Structure 1
Amino acid sequence: MQDELIVDQGSGDRDFVASLEKGLLVIEAFDANRPRLTLSDVAKLTGITRAAARRYLLTLTKLNYAEFDGRYFSLTPRILRLGYAYLSSASLSAQVQPFLERISEETGESSSAAILDGDDIVYIARSATRRIMSIGLGVGSRLPAHCTALGRAILAHQPDDVIDAYLQRVRLEARTPKTITDKAAFRAVLEATRAQGYALVSEELEYGLRSIAVPVVHRNGKVTIALNLSAQAGRVSAEDMEGRFLPLLRSSSETLRYML
């Protein structure tokens, strides 16, 4: 999720409901790193006034999508209904899941599928054999695209103007000292990723984590989803990932392109 959320009033579109947009931004202000927020926090993150933020938060609380302890607001499990509406109506996750389970079974490592949403990746399916990150990941989890193999595998196959716009607006935040934060260097990494057809990221998201990802190239040539395998860097070398894991990922990707 971006550090700051900018509200676009959409004044040129008579069908655009600005109040709905603001309400969704209030919901999106909460994430794994910010599970509890004050009224001031929400106003700052969304860019809306305190008075407006208060109305949206109290409405969410009255509808049982949020709760308030006198100082902090937090989302309730009822909010999962919004995500489940997508999962239950979309076949994408269901189609990908068997492939991830087979990959994990054959390798003994965790595998995932993700799409790009703004400047983040969002996990749409996952088969975890062990916990290898300090944070728990599941369907719906978000991570910055720039320091993940999944994000790079998707970004590298976007049109040049999309990549240019991404690099103009994003801040390449350092998650570890190994994270690439120079935009020229990052562009070169994306070019190399596109040329070789996969992304390999070693300890740029988190110490001790290595991941390899491949795009799923649809029949129309577009890339909206990627598959990955992640492992502890101390157990699996980059060479092992390229030699053992890459062929399996590519095989699954090639099959999925004719299914999705």
Structure 2
Amino acid sequence: MQGDETEDRAGGDRDFVASLEKGLMVIEAFDSGRQRLTLSDVAKLTGITRAAARRYLLTLTKLNYADFDGRYFTLSPRILRLGYAYLSSASLPARVQPFLERISEETGESSSAAILDGDDIVYIARSATRRIMSIGLGVGSRLPAYCTSLGRAILAYQPEVMIDAYVQRVRLEPRTPKTVTDKAAFRALLDATRVQGYALVNEELEFGLRSIAVPVIEKNGRVTIALNLSAQAGRVSAEEMTERFLPALKTASESLGYLL
């Protein structure tokens, strides 16, 4: 349970504020598929007690970060202040955005940039020319790293010990029948990604969606961000993804790498 993990961390660090972490866990319980939650829902999702969940939810409501209709809690628009605090203080999204717009202008396809956060990728910038997924994607959206080109492009360039730990703990759930779920095969894909310099995902995240991503190698050699292009499989073949789109991605990646 997440609540137990919180207590373990708090017990070993006098500077750790467990109540703050629990409050953030309550906020993160809400997402695109869970926009309205009851008190019981939040307690179950976070692993904290009903009494604690109630206090956090009512505090958020008093501060206007959440709304309550007598049964369901929902996040209010004020919660956007938390995300805006990052966007306004971080230069990375602002640096990336012009590169994505240039990529989309050259190719006519949607492009994105993401970072790794835990076992997920988080979109930090996006230039969308059309909606090509059943779910809407925007800045702040999260997806599993293992079945996305952005995730693989970042993971492949991490230290071996980190890759080993990730492969050992992650559950490779089949998002489609094409999703690679064998851990040995997945590790081989990461090795191939690092050798060839890009990741190509063919309808593993969602039917009808192909994407290609490249890492942004920073001046210190680290990779914390990747860029990608996505297209509908019915319009663009896998071969065309590498022939048409890879050069634009690599050019943008190399240029951006000099700035980071």
Q: Check if 1:80 corresponds to 2:80.
A: yes
Q: TM-score, normalised by structure 1?
A: 0.96
Alignment of 1:85-234 (within 5 A): 85-234=85-234
Alignment of 1:20-99 (within 5 A): 20-99=20-99
What SS does the corresponding residue of 1:99 show, helix, strand or coil?
helix
What SS does the corresponding residue of 2:167 show, helix, strand or coil?
helix
Q: TM-score, normalised by structure 2?
A: 0.96
% of aligned pairs identical?
Answer: 82
Amino acid at match of 1:169: R
* Separation in 2, partners of 1:45, 1:161: 30
* Separation in 2, partners of 1:159, 1:8: 27
For residue 252 of structure 1, what is the aligned residue in structure 2?
252
Amino acid at match of 1:57: L
Amino acid at match of 2:6: D
What SS does the corresponding residue of 1:20 show, helix, strand or coil?
helix
C-alpha displacement at 1:225, in angstroms? 0.2
C-alpha displacement at 1:8, in angstroms? 2.4
What SS does the corresponding residue of 1:48 show, helix, strand or coil?
coil
Deviates more, 1:147-156 or 1:43-52: 43-52
C-alpha displacement at 1:57, in angstroms? 0.8
Deviates more, 1:208-217 or 1:162-171: 162-171
* Separation in 1, partners of 2:119, 2:35: 20
Amino acid at match of 2:97: Q
User: 2:2, 2:48 within 8 Å by CA — same for their partners in 1?
Assistant: no
* Separation in 1, partners of 2:170, 2:47: 18
* Separation in 2, partners of 1:22, 1:174: 30
Q: Check if 1:8 corresponds to 2:6.
A: yes
Deviates more, 1:33-42 or 1:222-231: 33-42
* Separation in 2, partners of 1:249, 1:5: 38
Corresponding pairs, count: 257
* Separation in 2, partners of 1:25, 1:235: 41
Q: Check if 1:19 corresponds to 2:24.
A: no
